[in-house]
């Protein structure tokens, strides 16, 4: 039942992400880092500060918050990265990184517990655009209780992830720490791109985010598409929009060089892919190139996303990393 709920949540969040984003497709070419973190590092937040959130609300924060609630794992990872472990008093049921986050008071998931959040008496609640449409009434109840709510934007790419980290840094008085995180991420991204740029034989990739019988894969306008583009790989589902279900026959037809499995709630996930009827004709199966990658570091829009890029690159081009 727990695995089923996790799968349902992943699918729903994917649909919500597509609906909320509506932006341009991620560029398949490596991008230069644009966030001006050097200036940000030299600008300490002066409170009160007013910031506009993802749903257009102007949120005024009178002073650096001492009690914070996070509604989604990516926000939590950013907050902990900003050295706000002591200030975080509540997190969602799915927050599991760092380990200390799992010990915080749980406030629910997509159906969060408004009363529990209000009882924690936080200075600010960091929500997320991906689930806002289904929870708008609950968010308003929190506001009506006199608690500030800041809805964090769905990041479509690395640049928007950097902006998210910078914004949360401003909201919490941690601009210096935010700049340090961004600089480290940019350095890792540049390192990964440098290692794969000379790969001569570009590979085609199928990314599987849920198992048979309902196999889902990310196409255009997804973070996964940008990750693949940055490492110089071709997404065989790039002609599709968002997260789509794909029949096994179609996967066989598209014949990927590599299959990346992005779920871990089935212990035999990789073995199951190898055992599918008809898949023995796929290059990835013949070459033993079915690789499992940690979904959390490749989908959470936070500090570990650069590690996710490296994990993708190693799965597709292990030779570029001496593996």
Segment 85-95 mean pLDDT: 97
d(CA 64, CA 314): 40
Its sign, for the CA torsion 244, 300, 311, 293, is: negative
d(CA 10, CA 154): 15
Per residue in 221-268, pLDDT (tens digit) is 999 999 999 999 999 999 999 999 999 999 999 999 999 999 999 999
Beta strands in the chain (DSSP E): 49-52, 58-61, 68-70, 88-91, 105-106, 124-128, 148-152, 204-208, 216-218, 234-235, 243-245, 258-261, 290-292
> Cβ of 241: how many Cβ atoms within 10 Å?
13
pTM: 0.85
Report CA dihedral (132, 134, 136, 137) to the nearest 10 degrees. Answer: -160
Say how many residues make up the chain.
323
pLDDT score recorded for residue 44: 74
| Structure-token pair, residue 320 | 């570029």
Q: Is the pLDDT of residue 172 over 80?
A: yes
Per residue in 174-213, pLDDT (tens digit) is 999 999 999 999 999 999 999 999 998 999 999 999 999 9
The answer to whether the CB of 184 falls within 8 A of the CB of 196 is no
């Amino acid at each position: 039942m727990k695995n089923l709920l996790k799968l349902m949540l992943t699918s729903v969040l994917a649909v919500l992400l597509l609906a909320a984003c509506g932006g341009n497709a991620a560029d398949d070419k490596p991008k230069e880092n644009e966030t001006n973190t050097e200036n940000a590092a030299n600008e300490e937040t002066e409170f009160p500060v007013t910031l506009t959130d993802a749903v257009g609300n102007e949120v005024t924060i009178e002073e650096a918050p001492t009690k914070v609630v996070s509604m989604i794992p990516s926000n939590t990872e950013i907050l902990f990265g900003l050295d706000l472990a002591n200030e975080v008093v509540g997190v969602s049921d799915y927050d599991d990184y760092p380990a200390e986050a799992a010990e915080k008071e749980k406030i629910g998931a997509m159906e969060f517990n408004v009363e529990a959040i209000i009882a924690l008496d936080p200075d600010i609640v960091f929500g997320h655009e991906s689930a806002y449409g289904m929870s708008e009434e609950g968010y308003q109840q929190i506001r009506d209780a006199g608690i500030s709510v800041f809805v964090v934007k769905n990041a479509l790419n690395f640049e928007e992830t950097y902006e998210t980290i910078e914004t949360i840094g401003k909201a919490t008085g941690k601009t210096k720490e935010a700049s340090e995180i961004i600089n480290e991420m940019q350095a890792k991204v540049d390192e990964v791109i440098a290692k794969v740029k000379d790969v001569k034989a570009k590979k085609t990739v199928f990314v599987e985010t849920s198992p048979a019988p309902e196999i889902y894969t990310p196409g255009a306008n997804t973070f996964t598409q940008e990750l693949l583009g940055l490492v110089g790989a071709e997404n065989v589902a790039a002609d599709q929009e968002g997260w789509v279900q794909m029949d096994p026959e179609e996967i066989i037809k598209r014949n990927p060089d590599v299959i990346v499995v992005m779920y871990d709630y089935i212990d035999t996930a990789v073995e199951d892919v190898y055992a599918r009827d008809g898949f023995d004709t796929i290059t990835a199966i013949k070459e033993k190139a079915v690789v499992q990658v940690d979904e959390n570091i490749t989908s959470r829009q936070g500090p570990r996303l650069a590690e996710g890029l490296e994990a993708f690159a190693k799965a597709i081009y292990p030779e570029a990393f001496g593996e």
